[in-house]
Chain A
């Protein structure tokens, strides 16, 4: 288990270094390089040369990358051009918001999609199954922001039931202290995922039902409920954990849109304001941190998988 953990962390680290390399290359691929990005297209040659000298951009590219890498790994992500603050300082509070939002959404997706998919599999090819499949198929085709807009116009504007905006003074944990504000954002972020997950869970349970041990369980006289709960469900949940890990990037992307819809001061909101004001260091910083987030997330998913599946736990010892 420990060896497995170390290997996975090492792999994650390599991925991280390569992503940093990629953003570095991107920044240098812009005509004129980072100086033009920072100073704008109307900068003169003299000011560009001065900027390059001051920021060490006249050194060999390898040296530049090494200093960039070591700085980034120390979370020294540079200074925001617009907000005159360290990028990491800005990201720190935003990160907490986004992680909370994504984590709660994952739990919510699990709670809804697993029973839904299992129920569909148990009543396969019935009216209920077709109805649920239809709904999940539609959900799967709707852009996240449209779901959000729909929920806001229904529950906030028409029915006046739920707030359609999160107060900007909220701390990261207000998702627990003031949950009403977060009902719509969580729904927005989760519905698309629920569509995909429940479809997956359905086919996973259907596959499990065809296994020999299910026949054994039935043969020894277990009720259908117990067969589902003790045997089918447990085995079908394993692949779902992997899927959650794989869908993390999409989920973080969805969080970006959800945050901008509901005004949650998270990473997405930060990235978008930075993008609109051409604040390159901040945009690159959020991208790197969002990548770290997904790497850590899939690492956790892999570990959960190992914990949940005794076969892997024993094999990797």
Chain B
């Protein structure tokens, strides 16, 4: 431990009193690297990103027509609905519509990850801006804005999602926007808290004295100083969005066919699970759990990393 402690002190010394950005990230990365689980999680996440977005180019599958019409038989058993590896043409078997399971996972992953990441980003950005403005303006602006957050926090999000999906129809865009715009309330609270602490600091007064506007202070000085919290919030927000999308898919309000997402795949699989095709559940379930767990681990490790930065400063 003493060695790492030394390294950390050195890094701080290198970064100097002003703490240049590069130094800070090196420090965070150093703490992050020590957490073996977090590094593995990062690997898992990168794997799934490559799998979903690059995978279809390396391993193209037919996702337009299912194979039910032209049943593929391997050793006299239908390859479709086959639980484990039988041939390279169906490494994980097929789902009950005859789609190649691996290819289907790629399509589902593309939707799940892009919706999750975009919704997480929207949620983090809106929440942070809202919290920073409320915290910085203070007084009535603050109380009005934060009451709005209270409302957001007391509406069960899934009901709101259902209302919007029913009103405006289910599509990747509506779902992404709704997920993002209904989940930022918690992050607004966190960032507001940090802003309250930051706005009394000297560098903020310095900008004021130099004639910087409030907007400039919020977006150029306060928000960049909350970057650690924002990154951590974003990580968890992406994980939550992926889970929420899966939930929507499960209740049948997910991404409409012919597209799919991991949640809709699970819903599809669970219909046939009682008939003995339980293994159809496994692939999509494993994907969701692995991705969400990795994101949670990464978030935890990043939080530790940024906390160390704060402690050593």
Contact = CB atoms under 8 A, between A and B. Distances in A.
23 contacts: A11-B150, A15-B151, A19-B151, A23-B163, A26-B167, A137-B297, A138-B293, A141-B296, A144-B247, A145-B270, A146-B266, A146-B289, A149-B270, A149-B273, A256-B156, A275-B165, A275-B166, A283-B162, A284-B163, A286-B159, A287-B155, A287-B163, A291-B156
A153 B251 contact: no
B167 A294 contact: no
B166 A257 contact: no
Interface in A177-228: none
A290 interface: yes
B284 to A, nearest CB: 9
B157 interface: yes
Contacts of A286: 159
A129 interface: no
Interface stretch (A57-65, A110-118, A231-239, A244-252): A244-252
Contacts of A137: 293, 296-297
A146 B285 contact: yes
Interface string A21-39: 0110011011000000100
- Chain A interface residue bracket vs B: 35 or more
Contact of B167 (A11, A27, A144, A248): A27
Interface residues of B, number: 41
A143 B150 CA distance: 25
Contacts of A291: 154-156, 159
A149 B212 CA distance: 57
Interface string A264-280: 00000001100110101
A103 interface: no
B246 A250 contact: no
Interface string B247-258: 100111100000
A129 to B, nearest CB: 15
B162 A252 contact: no
A260 interface: yes
Contacts of A284: 163
Nearest to A298: B154
B251 A257 contact: yes
Contacts of B150: 11, 15
A286 to B, nearest CB: 7
A12 B292 CA distance: 34
A272 B251 contact: yes
A163 interface: no
A157 interface: yes
B278 interface: yes
A143 B250 contact: yes
Interface string A283-299: 11011001100110010
Given A14-B147, A283-B163, A249 B251 contact: no
A161 interface: no
Interface of A: 11, 14-15, 18-19, 22-23, 26-27, 29-30, 37, 137-138, 140-146, 149, 153, 157, 246, 248-250, 252-253, 256-257, 260, 271-272, 275-276, 278, 280, 283-284, 286-287, 290-291, 294-295, 298
Contacts of A252: 156, 159
A157 B275 CA distance: 9
Interface in B1-41: none
Contact of A18 (B151, B164, B253, B281): B151
A226 B273 CA distance: 49
Interface in B237-295: 239, 243, 246-247, 250-253, 263, 266, 270, 273-274, 278, 281, 285, 288-289, 292-293
B167 A246 contact: no
A257 B158 CA distance: 10
A253 B167 contact: no
Nearest to A277: B166
A130 to B, nearest CB: 11
Contact of B157 (A157, A249, A276, A280): A249
A290 B163 CA distance: 13
Interface in B157-178: 157-160, 162-168
Contacts of B293: 137-138, 141
A283 B164 contact: no
B157 A271 contact: no
Contacts of B247: 143-145, 253, 257
Contact of B263 (A138, A143, A290): A143
